[in-house]
Structure formats: structure tokens, C-alpha cells
């Protein structure tokens, strides 16, 4: 049975990742298993996810929120996951009948934390509220401050942590913090927060220049050497990377020129792009760099699957640069205008222009990241990539992101 998975970060008030919500889907969602109970299929997905995915790569050692249906709760499927790391998320469609309440109480005794999804108060939910550690509030549905404040007044005395989901703006984040919400989920961290000044800080400007140099049609090693040498941290990172056990050179790499030559053009473009991007992200949520890197690796790997092997670096850049505006605090068109990018890359990122061959892959990556697996399947059919291949490619991108990020950190 195929296992489809995406993850979405959950942040604390300092925009550090507290946990990930793991979004599981099975082929039953697409009627591939005619006549099979969807609950049974979902249970099998949770079990196979533990076998098919590396838990540490999925969660980075953090907690994971996992959705369960009524049948999943009663059957205790979540018990294959470590109780100290898993949070059982009771879907809003699950009625709080005596069997459900008993199952939740049993999971609590086993050490699992409990979250109530898309919570709207009703008296019959009191027994579940007495067990809950988290309550998730949809900020797109509760748009008014008065609504959010009323929920906070009701839940704060109970010492239940309030998780605001679908937080899309910095204003929503700030208001949630003010009202006592302590966890946040949504794409607010990918939205640019424009700088008040007109000048980009010199430290970030240097990394933008590095990105520009890296993606000229022909890499100028002399110019690259000078840029890298001007930044001590980049020089140290590059030498440390090439002297790691992964390369096994016969002698130690000791100069920047030697390092650039040994690495080779394509690996150099990729590694240095990640290193520059990570440095640009200083002072921003670390997950912004992680998300961009997963997107980049996912798009790069999808390129080969879709018969676009010659466009792998272009698609890597599309994913990596997709949140550049959020990192730097400047409009994306302005930032891309200063980089030596191919028109296909620029047009794919900005959209609204002529269709590009990269656009379907980028759209596919975005839909999978959101957990919209039905839309992703349709996009996969457009580029002749089966859904199970997309799922495996995403799993590989998550695993690879850890290794690539640590080498460029």
C-alpha cells in the first residue's frame, strides 16, 4: 500500500519550530482501493509510514501532530508512534461519544498528548477539553479579534495551549501572541516583511552578489574566489565541507582556489547557493531556510523523473529562491532582477508571464507541500510522474535536506 506524506511546521512565539504536523494520505483517498474502508486504509498508512519513512528525518527530533479519525482512535493506531514525540490530533468530524472519550483517556494514560482540531465550543466537548493539551483554532474562520479573544478567555484558565492555524500574515501572528496563543501554523513565515529602509544591509548584499555570480552562464572562478575570500565564514564553511569524510581526498584542501576547482561547477553552484541562502537567513526563522531547501531538492529530483534532467539546476533554484523575498525583506521581482538567472527560472518564480516548462514541477511541489495530494496527482499526470514516485521523491528530499543544510551551516 502506498504511503503519501507531507509535513507542515508548527512554531512557538519566537518563530522556532516546536513540532511538525504530518499529513498522511492513502490511495483510498483517490478510490484506488474500491470497497476498502477509508479508516482501515488510513490506519495502514500510519503503520507503513513508520516503516517507509525515517522518523528522525521527518521530525528532526521534534514532536509530530498526527490526525486520527474515530476508527483510528478506537483502534489505537497511533500506538506505533513514540508517545513522547506524537501528539494525537482529534479531527473536528469526530463526535465526542463515550467510546471516543474512553479511547482518548487511554492514550493520555499511555503518555500521548492530545489536540483538538478546528475547535468550536459546544457543551458536549467538555469531556475532551478536560483531556486536551492543545486546541487548534482556525484563524481564517475566526477572523475577528473579538472571536479570537473570546476563545482565549475561555481556554487560558484551563491551561490548554492554543494553537492558531492558517496564520497567513504577520499581523495575525502579532495579534495571536498578544492574546495568549502560544503555537502558530501557517505560511506567515514565507511572507515577506519589507524593510523600512531602501538599502539592503551590506552583509546580505555580499551574499546576493555571490548568488548573482554563481548563476552567470559561465562561472567566473576568479570572481568567486574573491567573493568567498571576503567572507571568513564562507571560506571556513567551504574548506570544512571539502575536508569532510565524504570526499576522502588524498591530501587536505587548504586554499579557496583549490576548493572551488575540486568541487566542480554544478556541485559548487548548488552548495554555495545553499550556503549563501542560509547566511541570508540569519535573523529570520530557521525553518524558512529548511523549507526553501526541501523545495529546492524536491524540485531538482522531480526534474529527472519528469524527463527534464537538463533543467535540474534551474528547478533547484526555483525552489531555493521561492522565499528569497521573505529572507531579505524586499520584493521578489526586485531581487531577481539583480541576479543572473535564466528567463525560465525568473518567469516561473514570478508567474503571470509566459508558461514555462518548469512551472508544472513548481506547482506540483507547492501542492504536495500543502498536503493537497489530489491536486498533486493531477499535476503529476501532466508531467508523467506517478504519485508514488512523487511521494518517494519528497521523502528523499526531506532526508537529503538535513545533510545539505549541515554542510552549508
Q: Which domain holds residue 289?
A: 202-408
Contact call for residues 58 and 22 (beta carbons, < 8 A): yes
**Which of the listed residues 160, 190, 220 is the one where a domain comes to its end?**
190
213 within 8 A of 224, measured Cβ to Cβ: yes
User: In the structure grid, which three cell numbers stand for residue 107, read together?
Assistant: 492514550
**Residues 137 and 269 grouped into a single domain:** no
Q: Quick one: 129 and 23 in the same domain?
A: yes
Looking at the fold, whether 234 and 127 belong to one and the same domain comes out as no
**CATH number of the domain where residue 401 is located:** 1.10.3210.10
Q: What is the pLDDT of residues 40-59, one digit of tens each?
A: 555 655 665 555 666 777 78
Whole-angstrom distance, CA of residue 102 vs CA of residue 106: 6
Q: Measured in Å, how far apart are the chain's first and last C-alpha atoms?
A: 37
Q: Does the model's pTM come out above 0.75?
A: yes
The structural domain count of the chain equals: 2
Let me know if residue 17 belongs to a domain.
Answer: yes
- Residue 77 CA to its chain's centroid (Å): 25
Last residue of some domain: 143, 167, 190? 190
For residues 164 and 221, membership in a common domain is answered with no
Residue 35 included in any domain: yes
In a domain, 369, yes or no: yes
- For 356, half-sphere exposure in the C-beta direction (CA atoms, 13 angstrom radius) is 22
Grid cell, residue 211, equals 548568488
The verdict on 22 and 158 lying in the same domain is yes
Q: Are residues 179 and 216 located together in one domain of the fold? A: no
Q: Express each pLDDT in 133-177 by its tens digit.
A: 999 999 999 999 999 999 999 999 998 999 999 998 889 999 999
What are the phi and psi torsion angles at 199 (to 5°)? Answer: -95, 140
Q: Where are the beta strands (DSSP E) in 117-207?
A: 134-138, 161-165, 183-185
* Residues 119 and 25 occupy one common structural domain: yes
Cβ burial 126-138 (10 Å sphere, 16+ → b, else e): ebbbebbebbbbb
Q: Is residue 197 part of a domain?
A: no
Q: Are residues 213 and 301 in the same domain?
A: yes
Percent of the chain with pLDDT over 70: 84
Do 229 and 184 lie in a common domain? no
In whole angstroms, give the CA distance from residue 34 to residue 267: 46
Q: Residues 222-256: pLDDT tens digits?
A: 777 777 777 777 777 777 777 776 666 667 777 77
**Which grid coordinates belong to 269?**
553552484
Question: Are residues 113 and 63 in contact, defined by beta-carbon separation less than 8 angstroms?
Answer: yes
- Tell me: do 273 and 324 sit in the same domain: yes
Structural domain contains residue 206: yes
C-alpha cell at 228: 568567498
Which of 167, 190, 213 is where one domain is finished?
Answer: 190
Amino acid at each position: 500500500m502506498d504511503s503519501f506524506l507531507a509535513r507542515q511546521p508548527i512554531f512557538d512565539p519566537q518563530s522556532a519550530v516546536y513540532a511538525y504536523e504530518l499529513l498522511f494520505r492513502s490511495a483510498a483517498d483517490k478510490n484506488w482501493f474500491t470497497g476498502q474502508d477509508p479508516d482501515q486504509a488510513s490506519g495502514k498508512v500510519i503503520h507503513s509510514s513508520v516503516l517507509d519513512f525515517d522518523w528522525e528525518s521527518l521530525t528532526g527530533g521534534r514532536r509530530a501532530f498526527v490526525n486520527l479519525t474515530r476508527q483510528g482512535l478506537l483502534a489505537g493506531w497511533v500506538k506505533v508512534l513514540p508517545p513522547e514525540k506524537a501528539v494525537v490530533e482529534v479531527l473536528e468530524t469526530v463526535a465526542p461519544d463515550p467510546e471516543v472519550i474512553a479511547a482518548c483517556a487511554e492514550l493520555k494514560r499511555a503518555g500521548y498528548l492530545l489536540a483538538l482540531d478546528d475547535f468550536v465550543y459546544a457543551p458536549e466537548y467538555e469531556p475532551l477539553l478536560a483531556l486536551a493539551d492543545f486546541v487548534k483554532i482556525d484563524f481564517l474562520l475566526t477572523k475577528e479579534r473579538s472571536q479570537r479573544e473570546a476563545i482565549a478567555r475561555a481556554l487560558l484558565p484551563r491551561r490548554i495551549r492554543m494553537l492558531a492555524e492558517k496564520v497567513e500574515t504577520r499581523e495575525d501572528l502579532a495579534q495571536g501572541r498578544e492574546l495568549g496563543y502560544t503555537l502558530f501554523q501557517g505560511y506567515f513565515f514565507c511572507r515577506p516583511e519589507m524593510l523600512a529602509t531602501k538599502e539592503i544591509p551590506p552583509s546580505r548584499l555580499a551574499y546576493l552578489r555571490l548568488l548573482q555570480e554563481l548563476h552567470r552562464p559561465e562561472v567566473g572562478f576568479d570572481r568567486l574566489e574573491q567573493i568567498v575570500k571576503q567572507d571568513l565564514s564562507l571560506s571556513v564553511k567551504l574548506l570544512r565541507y571539502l575536508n569532510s569524510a565524504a570526499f576522502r581526498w588524498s591530501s587536505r584542501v587548504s586554499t579557496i582556489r583549490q576548493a572551488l576547482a575540486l568541487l566542480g561547477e554544478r556541485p559548487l553552484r548548488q552548495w554555495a547557493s545553499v550556503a549563501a541562502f542560509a547566511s541570508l537567513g540569519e535573523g529570520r526563522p530557521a525553518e524558512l531556510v529548511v523549507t526553501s531547501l526541501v523545495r529546492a531538492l524536491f524540485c531538482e529530483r522531480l526534474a529527472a523523473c519528469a524527463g527534464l534532467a537538463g533543467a535540474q539546476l534551474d528547478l533547484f533554484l526555483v525552489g531555493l529562491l521561492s522565499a528569497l523575498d521573505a529572507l531579505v525583506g524586499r520584493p521578489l521581482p526586485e531581487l531577481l532582477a539583480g541576479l543572473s538567472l535564466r528567463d525560465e527560472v525568473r518567469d516561473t518564480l514570478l508567474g503571470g508571464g509566459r508558461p514555462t516548462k518548469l512551472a508544472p514541477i513548481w506547482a506540483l511541489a507547492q501542492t504536495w507541500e500543502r498536503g493537497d495530494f489530489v491536486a498533486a496527482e493531477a499535476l503529476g499526470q501532466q508531467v508523467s510522474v506517478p504519485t508514488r514516485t512523487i511521494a518517494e521523491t519528497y521523502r528523499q528530499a526531506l532526508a537529503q535536506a538535513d545533510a545539505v543544510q549541515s554542510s552549508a551551516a
